[in-house]
């Protein structure tokens, strides 16, 4: 099982392994997506608290502000109008989109390095994710 005892860590590609740049791109995608999502969520929550946001009957868990902004036109209008709920929704979108973009990065990397089979598998994963968002979700709503 032991290949070598060279202390070069993991950042060197062995024959048949993906180049280190693929790992770097994917790691950067995850980190940037996470930071964008968390900044949006934190700023929106702070703005909601500042506005002394309090939901009516039922307490603090209802109503769900995201339902209104599922409509892209209302979301765009909310963002333009500086509505904290719209930015909160955008933060949730960013959080969900981050792994999806990561799959897209994987697809690009596999195809770029001539790994057609892995590219095809990754394309199926991406298609399934988009199918869930645009077909399954609206169907079961």
Partner 1 sequence: MDLLTFALLVALTGIFAGLVGSLTGLGGAVVAIPVLVVAFVVPFPEAIGAGLLTVLATSSTTGAAYVRDHLSDLRIGMFLEIATVPGALFGATATVFLVHARLADALLLALGAVLLALVPGTIARNRQPPYTTAAEPDDISRRLGLSGSYYDEVRHERLSYNAARTRPALGVGFFAGVVSGMFGIGGGVFKVLSLEHYLRLPMKVATATSNFMIGVTGAAGASVLLVAGYVNPVIGAPLALGTAFGALGGSRILPRLRNRTVRWLFVPVLAVLGVEVILRGLGIA
* 71 vs 76, beta carbon nearer partner 1: 71
* 2 vs 80, beta carbon nearer partner 1: 2
Contacts 24+ apart (CB under 8 A), 30-38: 30/98, 30/99, 30/102, 33/94, 33/95, 33/97, 33/98, 33/101, 33/102, 34/95, 34/98, 36/94, 37/91, 37/92, 37/94, 37/95, 37/98, 38/91
Look up residue 129 and give its two tokens. Answer: 């994710």
Q: How far is the CB of 112 from partner 1 (least distance, A)?
A: 13
Look up residue 7 and give its two tokens. Answer: 């202390």
* 53 vs 76, beta carbon nearer partner 1: 53
Q: How far is the CB of 13 from partner 1 (least distance, A)?
A: 9
* 70 vs 76, beta carbon nearer partner 1: 70
Q: How far is the CB of 73 from partner 1 (least distance, A)?
A: 16
Q: How far is the CB of 57 from partner 1 (least distance, A)?
A: 14
Angle between helices 72-80 and 84-112 (to 10 degrees): 120
């Amino acid at each position: 099982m032991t290949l070598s005892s060279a202390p070069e860590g993991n950042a060197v590609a062995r024959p048949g392994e993906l180049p280190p740049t693929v790992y770097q791109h994917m790691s950067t995608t995850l980190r940037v997506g996470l930071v964008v999502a968390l900044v949006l969520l934190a700023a929106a929550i702070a703005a909601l608290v500042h506005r002394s946001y309090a939901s009516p009957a039922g307490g603090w868990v209802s109503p769900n502000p995201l339902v209104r902004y599922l409509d892209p036109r209302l979301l765009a209008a909310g963002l333009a109008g500086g509505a904290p709920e719209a930015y909160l929704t955008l933060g949730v979108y960013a959080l969900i989109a981050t792994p999806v973009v990561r799959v897209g990065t994987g697809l690009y990397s596999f195809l770029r390095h001539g790994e057609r089979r892995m590219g095809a598998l990754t394309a199926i994963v991406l298609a399934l994710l988009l199918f869930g968002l645009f077909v399954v979700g609206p169907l079961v709503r």
